Amino acid sequence: MAILKPLTVALIGCGRMGQIYADLFNTLPDTELIAIAETNAERRHAVGARFGVEALFADAAELFASAKPDLAAIVLPGKYIRDATLAAVAAGVRGVAVEKPIGAVLADVDDMVDACAEAGVVLAGGNLQRAMTEVQQAAARIHAGEFGPLIGACVHRYGGEISGGGCQHIAVLRLFTGAEITEVIAWAEPEEALHREDDEGLNINGQFLLSNGLVCPVFPGPTPYTGIDVWTADTLIRWDWGPPQIYRGIDAGGNRQAIDPQYTPAAYPQFSYTGTSMLSFIDVVRRGVTHEKELWISGRDLRHSLEVAIAAKRSALRGNMPVALPLTDRSLSLYPRAYRWLGGDQSGRPQSADEAGGGEN
Protein backbone atom coordinates (compact mmCIF):
# COMPACT_ATOMS: atom_id res chain seq x y z
CA MET A 1 0.00 0.00 0.00
CA ALA A 2 1.32 3.43 -0.95
CA ILE A 3 2.25 5.73 1.91
CA LEU A 4 0.15 8.89 1.77
CA LYS A 5 1.91 12.22 2.05
CA PRO A 6 0.85 14.35 5.03
CA LEU A 7 -1.77 16.97 4.27
CA THR A 8 -0.37 20.47 4.61
CA VAL A 9 -2.28 22.78 6.96
CA ALA A 10 -2.60 26.53 7.32
CA LEU A 11 -3.85 27.74 10.69
CA ILE A 12 -5.85 30.97 10.54
CA GLY A 13 -5.96 32.37 14.06
CA CYS A 14 -3.58 31.22 16.77
CA GLY A 15 -4.96 32.40 20.07
CA ARG A 16 -5.59 30.04 22.96
CA MET A 17 -7.78 27.65 20.96
CA GLY A 18 -5.64 27.94 17.85
CA GLN A 19 -2.61 26.87 19.85
CA ILE A 20 -4.36 23.60 20.69
CA TYR A 21 -4.88 23.06 16.97
CA ALA A 22 -1.24 23.88 16.24
CA ASP A 23 -0.07 21.30 18.78
CA LEU A 24 -2.51 18.77 17.32
CA PHE A 25 -1.42 19.26 13.70
CA ASN A 26 2.22 18.98 14.76
CA THR A 27 1.41 15.70 16.51
CA LEU A 28 -0.73 13.91 13.93
CA PRO A 29 1.29 11.87 11.40
CA ASP A 30 -1.14 12.81 8.59
CA THR A 31 -0.68 16.58 8.83
CA GLU A 32 2.10 19.13 8.46
CA LEU A 33 1.52 22.64 9.80
CA ILE A 34 3.17 24.90 7.22
CA ALA A 35 1.77 28.40 7.86
CA ILE A 36 0.08 30.50 10.54
CA ALA A 37 -1.92 33.71 10.21
CA GLU A 38 -2.29 35.71 13.43
CA THR A 39 -3.21 39.39 13.68
CA ASN A 40 -1.39 40.02 16.98
CA ALA A 41 2.26 40.52 15.98
CA GLU A 42 3.80 39.55 19.33
CA ARG A 43 1.69 36.42 19.53
CA ARG A 44 2.39 35.61 15.88
CA HIS A 45 6.13 35.44 16.49
CA ALA A 46 5.70 33.62 19.80
CA VAL A 47 3.59 30.83 18.30
CA GLY A 48 5.86 30.58 15.27
CA ALA A 49 8.80 29.88 17.54
CA ARG A 50 6.78 27.57 19.77
CA PHE A 51 5.45 25.38 16.96
CA GLY A 52 8.40 25.60 14.59
CA VAL A 53 6.58 27.46 11.82
CA GLU A 54 8.49 30.07 9.82
CA ALA A 55 5.74 31.08 7.37
CA LEU A 56 3.93 33.67 9.49
CA PHE A 57 1.34 36.13 8.22
CA ALA A 58 -0.90 38.88 9.57
CA ASP A 59 -4.14 37.57 8.06
CA ALA A 60 -5.70 34.98 5.78
CA ALA A 61 -5.39 37.06 2.59
CA GLU A 62 -1.67 37.55 3.14
CA LEU A 63 -1.18 33.86 3.92
CA PHE A 64 -3.02 32.54 0.87
CA ALA A 65 -1.12 34.91 -1.40
CA SER A 66 2.04 32.98 -0.47
CA ALA A 67 1.07 29.53 0.84
CA LYS A 68 -0.91 26.79 -0.88
CA PRO A 69 -2.02 24.37 1.85
CA ASP A 70 -4.28 21.35 1.47
CA LEU A 71 -6.31 22.29 4.54
CA ALA A 72 -7.26 25.48 6.35
CA ALA A 73 -8.19 25.42 10.03
CA ILE A 74 -9.97 28.67 10.85
CA VAL A 75 -9.82 29.28 14.58
CA LEU A 76 -10.95 32.89 14.66
CA PRO A 77 -13.61 34.77 16.60
CA GLY A 78 -16.98 34.43 14.88
CA LYS A 79 -16.90 37.87 13.26
CA TYR A 80 -13.99 36.91 11.00
CA ILE A 81 -14.80 33.31 10.04
CA ARG A 82 -16.79 34.02 6.87
CA ASP A 83 -14.14 36.10 5.11
CA ALA A 84 -11.35 33.69 6.03
CA THR A 85 -13.39 30.73 4.79
CA LEU A 86 -14.10 32.38 1.44
CA ALA A 87 -10.41 33.27 1.10
CA ALA A 88 -9.46 29.64 1.76
CA VAL A 89 -11.92 28.37 -0.85
CA ALA A 90 -10.64 30.90 -3.40
CA ALA A 91 -7.09 29.71 -2.70
CA GLY A 92 -8.00 26.16 -3.70
CA VAL A 93 -7.79 24.26 -0.42
CA ARG A 94 -9.30 20.78 -0.23
CA GLY A 95 -10.92 21.26 3.15
CA VAL A 96 -11.81 23.97 5.65
CA ALA A 97 -12.49 23.44 9.36
CA VAL A 98 -14.17 26.27 11.27
CA GLU A 99 -14.65 26.90 14.96
CA LYS A 100 -17.88 27.60 16.80
CA PRO A 101 -19.99 29.61 16.59
CA ILE A 102 -19.74 29.64 12.80
CA GLY A 103 -21.26 33.12 12.51
CA ALA A 104 -24.19 35.31 13.45
CA VAL A 105 -26.10 36.10 10.23
CA LEU A 106 -27.67 33.17 8.39
CA ALA A 107 -26.87 34.65 4.97
CA ASP A 108 -23.18 34.86 5.87
CA VAL A 109 -23.12 31.21 6.89
CA ASP A 110 -25.00 30.29 3.73
CA ASP A 111 -22.23 32.02 1.75
CA MET A 112 -19.66 29.75 3.38
CA VAL A 113 -21.64 26.54 2.92
CA ASP A 114 -22.50 27.38 -0.69
CA ALA A 115 -18.96 28.44 -1.64
CA CYS A 116 -17.51 25.21 -0.29
CA ALA A 117 -20.18 23.10 -2.00
CA GLU A 118 -19.67 24.81 -5.37
CA ALA A 119 -15.89 24.38 -5.16
CA GLY A 120 -16.00 20.78 -3.91
CA VAL A 121 -14.34 21.76 -0.62
CA VAL A 122 -15.08 19.80 2.57
CA LEU A 123 -16.50 22.13 5.27
CA ALA A 124 -15.98 20.72 8.75
CA GLY A 125 -16.76 21.99 12.22
CA GLY A 126 -14.25 22.07 15.02
CA ASN A 127 -14.16 21.69 18.79
CA LEU A 128 -17.63 20.29 19.55
CA GLN A 129 -18.57 17.35 21.76
CA ARG A 130 -20.59 15.83 18.93
CA ALA A 131 -17.17 14.75 17.64
CA MET A 132 -16.21 13.04 20.92
CA THR A 133 -15.51 9.41 20.13
CA GLU A 134 -17.81 8.18 22.92
CA VAL A 135 -20.66 10.36 21.64
CA GLN A 136 -20.18 8.95 18.15
CA GLN A 137 -20.05 5.39 19.48
CA ALA A 138 -23.25 5.88 21.49
CA ALA A 139 -24.98 7.34 18.42
CA ALA A 140 -23.86 4.42 16.26
CA ARG A 141 -25.37 1.97 18.75
CA ILE A 142 -28.65 3.92 18.81
CA HIS A 143 -28.83 3.94 15.02
CA ALA A 144 -27.97 0.23 14.83
CA GLY A 145 -31.08 -0.50 16.91
CA GLU A 146 -29.22 -1.95 19.90
CA PHE A 147 -31.56 -0.23 22.36
CA GLY A 148 -34.76 -0.31 20.31
CA PRO A 149 -36.58 2.62 18.67
CA LEU A 150 -36.36 6.04 20.28
CA ILE A 151 -39.58 7.19 21.94
CA GLY A 152 -38.41 10.41 23.60
CA ALA A 153 -35.79 13.14 23.81
CA CYS A 154 -35.24 16.30 25.83
CA VAL A 155 -32.79 19.18 26.12
CA HIS A 156 -31.52 20.41 29.50
CA ARG A 157 -30.15 23.91 30.18
CA TYR A 158 -30.62 25.52 26.78
CA GLY A 159 -29.67 28.88 28.17
CA GLY A 160 -26.98 31.43 28.88
CA GLU A 161 -25.54 31.16 25.37
CA ILE A 162 -28.02 29.46 23.06
CA SER A 163 -25.83 30.11 20.00
CA GLY A 164 -22.27 30.13 21.33
CA GLY A 165 -22.82 27.22 23.73
CA GLY A 166 -26.19 25.82 22.70
CA CYS A 167 -24.73 24.77 19.36
CA GLN A 168 -23.35 21.81 21.30
CA HIS A 169 -26.83 20.70 22.43
CA ILE A 170 -28.38 20.93 18.98
CA ALA A 171 -25.51 19.07 17.32
CA VAL A 172 -25.75 16.14 19.76
CA LEU A 173 -29.57 16.07 19.68
CA ARG A 174 -29.61 15.81 15.88
CA LEU A 175 -26.94 13.11 15.97
CA PHE A 176 -28.63 10.93 18.58
CA THR A 177 -32.12 11.21 17.08
CA GLY A 178 -31.01 11.03 13.45
CA ALA A 179 -33.58 13.75 12.83
CA GLU A 180 -33.87 17.42 11.97
CA ILE A 181 -35.66 20.07 14.01
CA THR A 182 -38.61 21.17 11.90
CA GLU A 183 -40.43 23.51 14.29
CA VAL A 184 -39.60 25.50 17.41
CA ILE A 185 -41.93 26.93 20.05
CA ALA A 186 -40.17 28.91 22.77
CA TRP A 187 -40.56 31.06 25.84
CA ALA A 188 -37.58 33.12 27.00
CA GLU A 189 -36.33 34.93 30.06
CA PRO A 190 -35.15 37.33 31.35
CA GLU A 191 -37.02 39.89 29.27
CA GLU A 192 -34.02 42.18 28.89
CA ALA A 193 -31.91 39.37 27.42
CA LEU A 194 -34.60 38.66 24.83
CA HIS A 195 -34.15 42.13 23.36
CA ARG A 196 -30.36 42.06 23.09
CA GLU A 197 -28.61 41.47 19.76
CA ASP A 198 -26.47 38.75 21.32
CA ASP A 199 -27.37 35.57 23.18
CA GLU A 200 -25.75 36.37 26.52
CA GLY A 201 -27.98 35.44 29.44
CA LEU A 202 -30.91 34.28 27.27
CA ASN A 203 -32.68 31.17 28.62
CA ILE A 204 -35.11 29.17 26.48
CA ASN A 205 -38.02 27.02 27.61
CA GLY A 206 -40.07 25.32 24.93
CA GLN A 207 -40.19 22.37 22.59
CA PHE A 208 -38.70 21.17 19.33
CA LEU A 209 -40.67 19.15 16.81
CA LEU A 210 -38.37 16.63 15.12
CA SER A 211 -38.64 15.21 11.62
CA ASN A 212 -39.06 11.69 13.05
CA GLY A 213 -42.21 12.78 14.90
CA LEU A 214 -40.71 13.17 18.37
CA VAL A 215 -41.64 16.21 20.43
CA CYS A 216 -38.59 17.29 22.42
CA PRO A 217 -39.09 19.40 25.58
CA VAL A 218 -36.48 22.11 26.14
CA PHE A 219 -35.62 23.21 29.68
CA PRO A 220 -33.82 26.52 30.35
CA GLY A 221 -31.85 25.44 33.41
CA PRO A 222 -30.23 22.39 35.03
CA THR A 223 -32.71 19.61 35.85
CA PRO A 224 -30.06 18.90 37.40
CA TYR A 225 -28.64 17.71 34.06
CA THR A 226 -27.29 20.10 31.45
CA GLY A 227 -27.16 18.18 28.18
CA ILE A 228 -29.32 15.82 26.11
CA ASP A 229 -31.36 12.74 27.03
CA VAL A 230 -32.86 10.29 24.54
CA TRP A 231 -34.67 7.11 25.49
CA THR A 232 -36.28 3.91 24.28
CA ALA A 233 -38.68 1.56 26.06
CA ASP A 234 -35.97 0.28 28.42
CA THR A 235 -32.87 2.44 27.86
CA LEU A 236 -31.88 6.06 28.47
CA ILE A 237 -28.77 7.59 26.90
CA ARG A 238 -27.56 10.78 28.55
CA TRP A 239 -25.00 13.21 27.18
CA ASP A 240 -24.13 15.62 29.99
CA TRP A 241 -20.96 17.29 28.69
CA GLY A 242 -18.85 14.17 28.67
CA PRO A 243 -18.95 10.55 27.53
CA PRO A 244 -22.64 9.54 27.38
CA GLN A 245 -24.03 7.51 30.24
CA ILE A 246 -26.25 4.58 29.34
CA TYR A 247 -28.99 3.26 31.64
CA ARG A 248 -30.63 -0.02 30.69
CA GLY A 249 -33.19 -1.96 32.66
CA ILE A 250 -34.47 -1.42 36.20
CA ASP A 251 -32.73 -2.29 39.48
CA ALA A 252 -34.38 -3.89 42.51
CA GLY A 253 -35.41 -0.46 43.80
CA GLY A 254 -37.26 0.42 40.62
CA ASN A 255 -34.61 2.85 39.38
CA ARG A 256 -32.87 3.02 36.02
CA GLN A 257 -29.73 0.91 36.08
CA ALA A 258 -26.44 2.29 34.76
CA ILE A 259 -24.42 -0.03 32.55
CA ASP A 260 -20.79 0.12 31.49
CA PRO A 261 -20.88 1.47 27.90
CA GLN A 262 -17.49 -0.16 27.17
CA TYR A 263 -16.42 2.61 24.84
CA THR A 264 -13.30 2.18 22.73
CA PRO A 265 -10.75 4.87 23.72
CA ALA A 266 -9.92 7.63 21.27
CA ALA A 267 -6.62 7.95 19.51
CA TYR A 268 -4.62 10.92 20.80
CA PRO A 269 -6.74 11.30 23.97
CA GLN A 270 -4.68 14.33 25.03
CA PHE A 271 -6.58 16.33 22.40
CA SER A 272 -10.03 15.04 23.39
CA TYR A 273 -12.78 15.85 20.89
CA THR A 274 -10.72 18.47 19.07
CA GLY A 275 -8.51 15.59 18.04
CA THR A 276 -11.33 13.28 16.98
CA SER A 277 -13.00 16.13 15.11
CA MET A 278 -9.86 16.76 13.07
CA LEU A 279 -9.21 13.04 12.52
CA SER A 280 -12.70 12.79 11.01
CA PHE A 281 -12.01 15.88 8.89
CA ILE A 282 -8.74 14.45 7.57
CA ASP A 283 -10.38 11.11 6.79
CA VAL A 284 -13.21 12.73 4.80
CA VAL A 285 -10.83 15.00 2.89
CA ARG A 286 -8.76 11.95 1.96
CA ARG A 287 -11.85 10.10 0.69
CA GLY A 288 -13.45 13.08 -1.03
CA VAL A 289 -16.21 15.64 -0.61
CA THR A 290 -18.89 13.09 -1.53
CA HIS A 291 -18.32 11.68 1.98
CA GLU A 292 -18.92 15.03 3.71
CA LYS A 293 -22.08 13.75 5.41
CA GLU A 294 -19.85 11.35 7.34
CA LEU A 295 -18.03 14.17 9.15
CA TRP A 296 -18.38 13.87 12.89
CA ILE A 297 -19.09 17.60 12.96
CA SER A 298 -19.67 19.70 9.85
CA GLY A 299 -20.16 23.32 8.92
CA ARG A 300 -23.74 22.43 8.04
CA ASP A 301 -24.22 21.12 11.59
CA LEU A 302 -23.06 24.47 12.94
CA ARG A 303 -25.46 26.28 10.60
CA HIS A 304 -28.36 24.15 11.86
CA SER A 305 -27.46 25.02 15.45
CA LEU A 306 -27.42 28.74 14.69
CA GLU A 307 -30.73 28.49 12.83
CA VAL A 308 -32.44 26.73 15.75
CA ALA A 309 -31.18 29.36 18.20
CA ILE A 310 -32.47 32.16 15.96
CA ALA A 311 -35.83 30.38 15.62
CA ALA A 312 -36.13 29.98 19.40
CA LYS A 313 -35.56 33.67 20.00
CA ARG A 314 -37.94 34.58 17.16
CA SER A 315 -40.68 32.37 18.59
CA ALA A 316 -40.31 33.96 22.02
CA LEU A 317 -40.41 37.47 20.54
CA ARG A 318 -43.60 36.61 18.62
CA GLY A 319 -45.59 35.55 21.66
CA ASN A 320 -44.52 31.90 21.49
CA MET A 321 -45.69 31.36 17.93
CA PRO A 322 -44.44 28.18 16.25
CA VAL A 323 -41.52 28.88 13.90
CA ALA A 324 -40.91 26.45 11.05
CA LEU A 325 -37.44 25.45 9.89
CA PRO A 326 -35.60 26.08 7.68
CA LEU A 327 -36.07 29.83 8.10
CA THR A 328 -36.98 31.65 4.91
CA ASP A 329 -35.55 35.02 5.98
CA ARG A 330 -31.80 34.50 5.72
CA SER A 331 -31.05 38.03 6.96
CA LEU A 332 -31.95 36.94 10.50
CA SER A 333 -29.13 36.92 13.02
CA LEU A 334 -28.12 36.13 16.58
CA TYR A 335 -24.73 37.24 17.84
CA PRO A 336 -22.71 35.34 20.43
CA ARG A 337 -21.23 37.10 23.44
CA ALA A 338 -18.25 39.38 22.84
CA TYR A 339 -15.55 36.84 23.70
CA ARG A 340 -16.81 34.44 21.03
CA TRP A 341 -17.59 37.16 18.47
CA LEU A 342 -14.57 39.46 18.85
CA GLY A 343 -12.00 37.33 20.69
CA GLY A 344 -10.18 37.72 23.96
CA ASP A 345 -7.97 40.62 22.86
CA GLN A 346 -11.05 42.79 22.29
CA SER A 347 -13.23 41.59 25.15
CA GLY A 348 -11.04 41.84 28.22
CA ARG A 349 -9.28 38.46 28.03
CA PRO A 350 -6.03 39.18 26.17
CA GLN A 351 -3.25 36.60 25.95
CA SER A 352 0.32 37.61 26.66
CA ALA A 353 3.14 36.72 24.28
CA ASP A 354 4.71 34.68 27.09
CA GLU A 355 1.59 32.53 27.44
CA ALA A 356 1.31 32.17 23.66
CA GLY A 357 4.91 30.99 23.58
CA GLY A 358 4.13 28.20 26.02
CA GLY A 359 4.72 29.98 29.32
CA GLU A 360 2.25 30.22 32.17
CA ASN A 361 -0.54 32.78 32.43
Give per-residue pLDDT as tens, 37-46.
999 999 999 9
Q: pLDDT value at position 359?
A: 86
In-domain check, residue 353: no
Phi-psi region of 333 (alpha: psi -120 to 50; beta: other; left: phi over 0): beta
Residues (pLDDT < 70) of the chain are: 1-2, 361
- Residues 79 and 54 grouped into a single domain: yes
What is the number of other CB atoms lying within 10 angstroms of the CB of residue 156?
22
Say if residues 306 and 167 touch (Cβ distance below 8 Å).
yes
Query: Considering the domain boundaries, does residue 158 fall inside one?
Result: yes
What is the spatial distance between Cα 262 and Cα 141, in angstroms, rounded to a whole number?
12
Same domain, 96 and 34: yes
Same domain, 213 and 260: yes
Answer yes or no: do 193 and 46 share one domain.
no
Question: For 11-43, b where at least 16 C-beta lie within 10 A, e where not — what string?
Answer: bbbbbebbbbbbbbbeebebbbbbbbbbbbeeb
* Same-domain pairing of 85 and 190: no
**Residues 212, 312: one domain?**
yes
- What angle do helix axes 106-119 and 81-90 make, rounded to 10 degrees? 10
> Among 297, 313, 339, where does a domain finish?
297
For residues 94 and 201, membership in a common domain is answered with no
**CA nearest to 9, candidates 124, 110, 120:** 124
Report yes or no on 342 lying in a domain. no
Write the pLDDT tens digit of every residue in 83-94.
999 999 999 999
- The verdict on residue 352 lying in a domain is no
Closest among 132, 208, 134 to 173, alpha carbons compared: 208
* Whether residues 181 and 287 fall in one domain: no
Nearest to 243 by CA among 152, 127, 125, 136: 136
In a domain, 345, yes or no: no
The reply to whether 233 falls in a domain is yes
Q: What is the DSSP letter of 13?
A: -
One domain, residues 104 and 137? no
- Tell me whether residue 37 is in a domain: yes
Provide the number of structural domains found in the chain. 2
CATH number for the domain spanning 281: value is 3.40.50.720
**pLDDT computed for residue 2 by the predictor:** 67
Judge whether 176 lies within some domain.
yes
Cα separation, 153 vs 211, whole angstroms? 13
The residues near 270 (Cβ < 8 Å, ≥ 6 apart) are none
| Judgement on whether residues 108 and 45 belong to the same structural domain of the protein | yes
Structure letter (DSSP) for residue 42: H
pLDDT of amino acid 1? 56
134 shares its domain with 228: yes
Assign residue 210 the CATH number of its domain.
3.30.360.10
Closest-CA residue to 294 (of 303, 285, 302): 285
- Work out the number of other CB atoms within 10 angstroms of the CB of residue 335: 21
- Please check whether residues 245 and 293 belong to one and the same domain: no
Question: 178: domain range?
Answer: 130-266+304-329
